[in-house]
Copies of this chain bind each other. A is one copy, B any other.
Amino acid sequence: MKDMPMALRHPATSFTTCAVCNIRHRAVCATCNAKELMRLEDMKYYRTFDAGQAIMYEGDEMQFVGSVVTGVAKLSRTLPDGRIQMLGLLLPSDFIGRPGRARVAYDVTALQKVTLCCFRRKPFETLVADTPHIGQRLLAMSLDELDVARNWMLLLGRKTAREKIACLMAMVARRTSALEPAAPKNGITFEMPLSREAMGEYLGLTIETVSRQITALRKDDIIVLADQRQITIPNMDRLNAETGDDIGAASAP
Q: Is A35 an interface residue (CB 8 A)?
A: no
A43 to chain B, nearest CB (A): 20
Q: Which of A77-99 contact B (CB under 8 A)?
A: 77, 79-81, 83-85, 87-88, 98
- With contact pairs A146-B149, A149-B150, A150-B106 given, residues A79 and B132 touching in the complex (Cβ less than 8 Å): no
A109 to chain B, nearest CB (A): 15
Q: Is A156 an interface residue (CB 8 A)?
A: yes
Complex CA–CA separation, A156 to B156 (angstroms): 6
Query: Which chain B positions have C-beta within 8 A of A75?
Result: 150
Question: Is the Cβ of B150 less than 8 Å from the Cβ of A88?
Answer: yes
- With contact pairs A105-B147, A135-B135, A146-B142 given, residues A157 and B245 touching in the complex (Cβ less than 8 Å): no
Q: For the complex of A and B, list the 6 residue pairs with the smallest distance between their C-beta atoms, beginning with the closest.
A: A157-B204, A80-B247, A156-B156, A149-B149, A85-B157, A87-B150
Other 14 A-B pairs with CB < 8 A, given A75-B150, A79-B158: A77-B154, A79-B245, A80-B245, A81-B244, A83-B158, A85-B158, A100-B143, A101-B143, A105-B147, A132-B132, A132-B135, A139-B139, A142-B142, A142-B143
Which residues of A are interface residues toward B (Cβ below 8 A)?
Answer: 75, 77, 79-81, 83-85, 87-88, 98, 100-101, 105-106, 129, 132, 135-136, 138-140, 142-143, 145-147, 149-154, 156-159, 203-204, 244-247
